[in-house]
Structure 1
Amino acid sequence: MSAKEINYICDEMGLCCPSEPSSFYISDKKKKPLEIYMFIDPLCPECWALEPIIKKLQMEYSPYFTLRTYLGSEMRTFNKTYGPKKASQLRERARKYNETASRTGMPCDGDVWNENTLITPYTSLLAVKAAELQGKAIGSKYLRSLREALFLNKQNIADENVLIECAEKVEGMDISEFRNDLNSQSASKAFQCDVKTTKEMDVTTVPTLVFFNDDVNEPGLKVSGLYDYHIYVSIMEEMLGKKLEKCPTMSLESFLKFYTLVAAKEVSVVFDWTPEEVERQMKRLKLMQKVEKINVKNGTLWRYID
């Protein structure tokens, strides 16, 4: 997607600042008062559940913060070959995934751990960094594609062929360049930088958000785990010492047009709707033949098709 196309979409959304709702795809040269360091792991279900909250923060308060994403390393143990306990460990991981899906409402099928042996998820982490070498926008879209492959389609994202399939779904990505970068020193060094930052910040679990204001003498505020949306807004207001003003609200159709495939839970979080209201609104668009419903284990997805 060209910069011109991105600007057009943002103009259609009526956002107060031009970016992936909002500063995710277009760098804003104006310095923002807050920085948020987000530490996640593509294989972590709680990190998947954090995604709608981050979307909402970007859409409503992006003029106030810059988001920086780092890959944590909670899943390092899955790079190892397990002994006799391997099967029970995989079953426990599957149980955790399904439990997280039930608790958060984000669709997630833990059976992936029973059907695929993800012995080397390290390759999926390198893939994210390889995608980011083509820009922040491409990296963000690729991470989403990777998560959909794992959480929704139960694909083995340790498989290089699956990683390339995910790249092929990202509009604007240079597949040939991605193949070269996948096993390059550049991707490896980028990931090692993330590992170094994770250690320096003393981040031991994912997801973790670390909030910094523009006072270099002030330490960052580290928030580990998954919390309700209003908690993160309260933290930002406390750090800035004022009430935050929201960006103009975008329409549901603009939201769907921008992200293409969203979970019902994401719509619920972003627009503060009950599940029943989400269903009503989506059925209305379905009758207009603008979306299609996709039923998956532990949730519902909607794809924009207009």
Structure 2
Amino acid sequence: MTAKHWSDANWQELEKKPLEIYMFVDPICPDCWALEPIIKKMIMEYGTYIRIKYVLKGGLSGLNKKVCLHSSSLTSQTDSKALDRENAPWKNSPITSPFIASIAIKAAELQGKKAGSRFLRTLQERLFLKEQDISEYEVLQICADEAKLDLDEFCQDIHSTSASKAFQCDLKISSEMEVESTPTLVFFNENIEDEGIKIEGVYPYEVYEQIIEEMVGDPIKDQLPTIDEFIEQFKIIASPELALIYNMSIHQAEKELKKRMLQQKVEQITMKNGTFWRILS
């Protein structure tokens, strides 16, 4: 599918990379979490050519089971009043907003795009691995600490106009680009006259790889880090994730991880949503 042309202002953010990929995500979307290993591999192999911009497309339904108190003031995702600091229901108690997880991600991004990505990944781990309620302010603080954010700054920014306006901007981008579901990736090249390529849902890695190769033209892949380096960077991994990134079977991935467990480099942990492997410090 194709997406609308994008404005000149957005292309100033390309940082001299030939591809800009807009990744539309919802922090509670399981498919967004499932796409993460593909994004990791894409960055590791084609990081020279691509820049990924996370755009939040948050829905109201299901984000916070506890917060019906202010539903009347949150009837529209794009209602500017609902996202204005003076009218925001989280102004005095951030726990009460169904937008809180998305606002928290934008607050984290105020400390840098990499900080925002780390926080999103930590948030998803808390939700999908530990099944914790990421609409609770205390859980968000723990995520910020684990993502190595400045905690005081994060706690201030989560209440700020800047974070709420950034989230509002993401919702506007989603609307303008006619993104209906998450995850959705939209690939743009350097020629702003060309339409973007929109991919909705999760597909095999080869699909995204083919798009990159066609849009860039015979890119040279970067070498993947060693398995030990990968584990060191991401701390907690699953066997299917390792298998996808290193083109091996899940059985082979488990053998590699069990070998490292015997070497006391990782430990096997069982969580509500399956078995994972965590680096030993």
Which TM-score bucket, shorter chain as reference?
0.7 to 0.9
- What does 1:65-76 correspond to in 2, within 5 Å? 65-73=50-58, 75-76=59-60
Contact persistence 2:267–2:277 (CA under 8 A): yes
| CA distance in 2: counterparts of 1:199 and 1:246, whole angstroms | 34
- Structure 1 match to 2:232: 257
List gaps (5 residues or longer) in structure 1: 1-27, 83-117
Residue 291 of structure 1 corresponds to 266
Gaps of 5+ in 2: 1-12, 67-94
Q: Which amino acid aligns with 1:238?
A: E
1:250-297 Cα shifts (integer Å, max 9, x gaps): 100000101111122211111111111011100111111111111224
Please state if 1:194 is matched with 2:170: yes
Letter in structure 2 aligned against 1:249: L
**Larger fraction in helix:** 1
Once residues 235 and 162 of structure 2 are traced to their aligned partners in structure 1, the CA distance between those partners, rounded to angstroms, is 30
Q: CA deviation at 1:29?
A: 8.6
Aligned partner of 2:137 in structure 1 is: 160
Match of 2:161 in 1: 185
Aligned partner of 1:262: which letter? I
RMSD across aligned positions (CA): 2.0
Hey, what does 2:18 align to over in structure 1? 33
Q: TM-score, normalised by structure 2?
A: 0.81
Structure 1 counterpart of 2:105: 128
Distance of 1:278 and 1:66 partners within structure 2: 29
Deviation at 1:161, TM superposition (A): 1.1
Q: Quote the offset at 1:174 in angstroms.
A: 0.7
Cα 1:157/1:80, change in 2 over 3 Å: closer
Secondary structure of 1:63 counterpart: coil
Partner residue in 2 for 1:214: 190
Identity of aligned residues (%): 44
Partner Cα distance (1:139, 1:30) in 2: 18
For this pair of structures, how many residues does the alignment match?
Answer: 241
- Aligned with residue 141 of structure 1, among 104, 113, 118: 118
2-structure distance, mates of 1:44, 1:169:
21
- For residues 279 and 81 of structure 1, the distance between their equivalents in structure 2, rounded to whole angstroms, comes to 36
How much does 1:68 deviate? 0.6
Structure 2 CA distance for partners of 1:119 and 1:226, relative to 1, 3 Å: farther
Are 2:213 and 1:237 equivalent residues in the alignment? yes
Letter paired with 2:199: V
Match of 1:272 in 2: 247
Q: Residue 141 of structure 2: SS of its match in structure 1? A: helix
Of 35, 39, 51, 1:54 maps to 39
SS at match of 1:209: strand
What amino acid does structure 1 have at the position aligned with 2:140?
Answer: L
